[in-house]
Structure 1
Amino acid sequence: MKKSFALITLGAILEYYDFAIFIYFAKAIGESLIPLHNETANLIASFGIFAIGAILRPLGGIIFAHFGDTRGRKNIFIYTVLMMALPTLLIGFIPNYTQIGIAATIMLILLRCIQGLAIGGEIPGSVVFAYELSNKANKALNTNIVIAGTNIGFFIASMLGAILLKQSNLPYSAWRIAFIIGGIFGIISYYLRKNLTETPEFSKYQEFVDKQPHPPIRELLLNHKKPLIQMLAFGSLLASSLAVFTFFMPTYLSTYYKFPMDKLLEYNSYSIIIFVISAFIAGKFHYLFAKKFLATGTIIFTISSYYLFSHYQSLTLNQIVIYHYLILVFIGIICGRLPVLSASFFPVQVRYSGVGLSYNICFGIVAGLTQVILFSLIKFTGIMLIPAIYITIFASFAMLFILTVENKQLTEYQ
């Protein structure tokens, strides 16, 4: 069992490692592969290309989830990690724009599209796999192993980014080395995953697959709209706040307030440790974090975000780090609650599809578009409170979910 959970986690590590290094090195990637000479425009273009891959995640989620709900979790789960790894590796070898012109940009876009499709099936598969392998008492904690993997990916990307940026005699660009390392890790993960076996819950259901009246996605949209909307509302709060306070923040603080990027990445990597601990606490003691806590925490979190974005210009880096660490405790708890809830809200016949569609809309479209939306709006409006307003919108959606869900749905699982 422990070996299976370790293999599940490998893809989660790679997904968020790739997610993070693209954002952390967006400026360098843009300078190498995109023909724009204005710094802000180049950065927006880089995040725009990143967002193209993210937008494709719901489509990838629908495709892979269909086969996951009809042919089995294992078969799909093995190949999604390979489809993520190969583009990551190849991005590291794209020649510079000065060498091959616009072809460099086109190659980057195509590889990001392939990644986006594959990622759409990866984390939902991880959550479903962990949920269905666990007994009722451990479902909340074990699905957090997946979350631990995503944050290990954050941590590795941040630490590696900080280390590479300090080197002055590298044989290749720092961002290229980061992508190549990620690609090699993913290919190794593919070979290791071949040892996985099918989940017991799907194995019991498999004989009834052909008797289902509708394809999984149609069944989901016809008969399970309410849980889908609920998971979109709750997941969007996590996706937006996570994107703002981990991915967006280093580039934001270095661009507008001139804090050193290597220091920001270093502190960001340490913050992920707090995030992981919070998520595990939420998984272990899930019954403590129900309606009252989530409602109160969401309100406090929203107010705190307004305070921070109003005062960054007067805060020292150490003060900012302390505030961010405190905020990440709450975001980590939300992160620890989401995976088990997203799996428990859907029955086995549409579980992969339900988790896949809700997760990919939140973390593909919402999280994927966060950077380009926020930088673009700040550029065109000059309003530095834009990120706080953005968070408030999704916090409002989450409050609607919290107010309409029953308490037992947050603590009892199928």
Structure 2
Amino acid sequence: MNNPGSAPISETTPPAPAVDPKQGRRAGSAAFIGTTIEWFDFYIYGTASALVLGDLFFPDVSPAMGTLAAFATFAVGFIARPLGGIVFGHFGDKFGRKNTVITTLLLMGLATVGVGLLPTYEQIGFMAPVLLVILRIIQGVAMGGEWGGAVLIATEFAPPGKKILYGAFAQQGSPVGNLLATVAFLCLTYMSAENFGAWGWRIPFLASAILILVGLYIRLKITESPEMIAATQKEPQKRTPIVELLRNHWKVVSLAIGAVVTGVAITYVKTTFALSWATTDLGFGRTEFLQVVTVALVAQVIVQPFGAVLASKLNASRAILIMLLPELILLPAMFLLIQTGNYWLAMLGMVLATAPHAMYYAALAGVLAQLFPTTIRYTGISVAYQVSTALFAGTAPFLSQALLNATGTIWTVVGLGLFYVVLSAVCMSLLLRGKSWTDREGQPGHAAESAVATAAGPVTSPAPQSNH
């Protein structure tokens, strides 16, 4: 008998069908470009929160409290993401990946352009922050459905032995989207503060309409996932995916939520919070520190793919420790270097601390995509990722600012970041405990057994074999 929370999935997942290499490359490109656009839309809100939204939509409070209120609306988008993961995961598992990710991209675009057109508090009063929150919720729902679909488009088209590497295509969209968002606002800082506050901040939000059209065109060119087609032809989905997930795979989901934390939360501590802290408390100019963040993001774009390569070549658990442990030293060092107020030292600290979590983030998608059977995979990875972002990533700038306000010392923020790193290292190590695997070609989801082998006892399906 199978243990609840650790059901073997070979019963519901057929061997992966052969994939046309051309379609595989097209799917990887579509995942990368689509996620880049969606992350750009999502990140420009974070940058705007740190720079201008507090003054425009919450003008009746102190600057520190206005920033805190803007970060709270930033967090609302993350709180909405699990809902998007469940809703779009349901449709993606029941009816296919392609149409679902087209819908999420379109929804994100509409909400982002809406923010760019939104009147401020001075123009329409309290309705301005209310509408801002509503649009941010729509962004969150769209992003909640986007990530899982993009990852599966890439990994389910991957050639044998390449799932982790192809998963990195979708992951690469995050730093590239963040970089584009930061560069967009960096360019705008050269206009006068009056013009930036009056209309300049709206430009990135409105310009996203063009990017959305490009993304839609590319995604319309891909075909449905071959693994999804094979699974539904064998046995159409009968149960509600979220019910099946929570009934038979809840232990794996719980560990996966913890494993995701460093990959998502640390980014917002290093960029969104650090940008606000440096420009408000340390005397950095807005343009100056955006340049620091930009260089760190360029470094992330360059370094991140090596994480997928490392996880593909080594035992996954060993690779994760190699990638995460340096963060325990480099994260405190980053804050120390920023606190000096020196431009070059701040840049050095940001670049060094970016490398470990970036490499970990690259490997994360390909690992998570192998934890669940095809017919609930979209829901499974979306719930794990989006619940983690709601609990940890979306609240990271708010908690960091609140800790700083309450204690007056940056070391409480450092402690929060270190907690994120330790939590992820422990959960991912338990998830992959005792397994020397990197990629389960033809056996999707067998890696899930490792998450519960100790706590839940033996499972009925055979242990996965290493590709090495």
TM-score normalised according to structure 2 size: 0.83
Q: State whether structure 2 residue 438 is matched by structure 1 residue 411.
A: yes
* 1:19 paired residue among 42, 58, 64: 42
Q: State whether structure 2 residue 385 is matched by structure 1 residue 362.
A: no
* 1:145 paired residue among 155, 164, 169: 169
Aligned CA distance change for structure 1 residues 369 and 410 (closer, same or farther; 3 Å): farther
1:293 CA drift (Å) = 4.1
1:47 CA drift (Å) = 0.9
Distance of 1:336 and 1:311 partners within structure 2:
26
- Partner residue in 2 for 1:96: 120
Aligned CA distance change for structure 1 residues 296 and 140 (closer, same or farther; 3 Å): closer
CA deviations over 1:85-111 (Å, ceiling 9, x no partner): 011011111112111111111111111
Q: State whether structure 2 residue 221 is matched by structure 1 residue 207.
A: no
Residue 133 of structure 1 aligns to a residue whose secondary structure is: coil
- Partner residue in 1 for 2:271: 246
Contact 1:50 1:112 (8 Å CA) reproduced: yes
Q: State whether structure 2 residue 175 is matched by structure 1 residue 183.
A: no
Aligned CA distance change for structure 1 residues 313 and 326 (closer, same or farther; 3 Å): closer
Matches within 5 A, 1:229-268: 229-268=254-293
- Partner residue in 2 for 1:216: 241
Matches within 5 A, 1:76-95: 76-95=100-119
Aligned CA distance change for structure 1 residues 259 and 288 (closer, same or farther; 3 Å): farther
* 1:380 paired residue among 406, 411, 414: 406
Amino acid at match of 1:21: I
Q: Which one has a larger percent helix, Structure 1 or Structure 2?
A: 1
Aligned CA distance change for structure 1 residues 310 and 159 (closer, same or farther; 3 Å): closer
- Partner residue in 2 for 1:353: 379
- Partner residue in 2 for 1:282: 307
Distance of 1:36 and 1:315 partners within structure 2:
30
User: How many residue pairs are counted as aligned between the two chains?
Assistant: 413
Distance of 1:240 and 1:64 partners within structure 2:
23
Amino acid at match of 2:369: A
Matches within 5 A, 1:285-364: 285-286=310-311, 287-288=313-314, 290-310=316-336, 312-314=338-340, 316-364=342-390
Contact 2:28 2:154 (8 Å CA) reproduced: yes
Amino acid at match of 2:101: F
1:202 CA drift (Å) = 0.3
Residue 17 of structure 1 aligns to a residue whose secondary structure is: helix
Distance of 1:227 and 1:372 partners within structure 2:
28
Aligned CA distance change for structure 1 residues 353 and 31 (closer, same or farther; 3 Å): same
Q: State whether structure 2 residue 27 is matched by structure 1 residue 4.
A: yes
Contact 1:310 1:385 (8 Å CA) reproduced: no
- Greater mean alpha carbon deviation, residues 349-358 or residues 229-238: 229-238
Contact 2:403 2:413 (8 Å CA) reproduced: no
Distance of 2:235 and 2:86 partners within structure 1:
17
CA deviations over 1:17-47 (Å, ceiling 9, x no partner): 1232222221412222234341011111111
Contact 2:335 2:349 (8 Å CA) reproduced: no
Distance of 1:273 and 1:254 partners within structure 2:
21
* 1:124 paired residue among 148, 152, 164: 148
Aligned CA distance change for structure 1 residues 371 and 289 (closer, same or farther; 3 Å): farther
Aligned CA distance change for structure 1 residues 150 and 313 (closer, same or farther; 3 Å): closer
Distance of 1:271 and 1:227 partners within structure 2:
33
Amino acid at match of 2:172: A
1:335 CA drift (Å) = 1.0
Residue 394 of structure 2 aligns to a residue whose secondary structure is: helix
Distance of 2:114 and 2:237 partners within structure 1:
42
Contact 1:295 1:402 (8 Å CA) reproduced: no
CA deviations over 1:307-335 (Å, ceiling 9, x no partner): 44356433522112112211211111101
1:378 CA drift (Å) = 1.2
Distance of 1:328 and 1:311 partners within structure 2:
14
Q: Percent identity?
A: 27
Contact 1:14 1:186 (8 Å CA) reproduced: yes
Aligned CA distance change for structure 1 residues 297 and 218 (closer, same or farther; 3 Å): same
Aligned CA distance change for structure 1 residues 170 and 64 (closer, same or farther; 3 Å): same
Runs of 5+ consecutive residues of structure 1 not aligned to the other structure: none
RMSD: 2.1
Q: State whether structure 2 residue 174 is matched by structure 1 residue 174.
A: no
Runs of 5+ consecutive residues of structure 2 not aligned to the other structure: 1-22, 445-468
- Partner residue in 2 for 1:40: 64
Distance of 1:210 and 1:35 partners within structure 2:
54
CA deviations over 1:355-402 (Å, ceiling 9, x no partner): 100111223332111111111221122231122111222222223224
1:338 CA drift (Å) = 0.3
Distance of 1:152 and 1:410 partners within structure 2:
29
Distance of 1:243 and 1:312 partners within structure 2:
16
- Greater mean alpha carbon deviation, residues 333-342 or residues 294-303: 294-303
Amino acid at match of 2:202: R
Contact 1:86 1:187 (8 Å CA) reproduced: no
Amino acid at match of 1:148: Q
Bigger radius of gyration among the two: 2
Q: State whether structure 2 residue 93 is matched by structure 1 residue 69.
A: yes
Contact 2:337 2:349 (8 Å CA) reproduced: no
Amino acid at match of 1:8: A
Distance of 2:436 and 2:160 partners within structure 1:
14
- Greater mean alpha carbon deviation, residues 293-302 or residues 381-390: 293-302
Distance of 2:275 and 2:88 partners within structure 1:
33
1:249 CA drift (Å) = 1.8
Amino acid at match of 1:185: L
Amino acid at match of 2:133: I
Distance of 1:254 and 1:54 partners within structure 2:
24
- Greater mean alpha carbon deviation, residues 394-403 or residues 35-44: 394-403
1:409 CA drift (Å) = 5.7
1:208 CA drift (Å) = 4.3
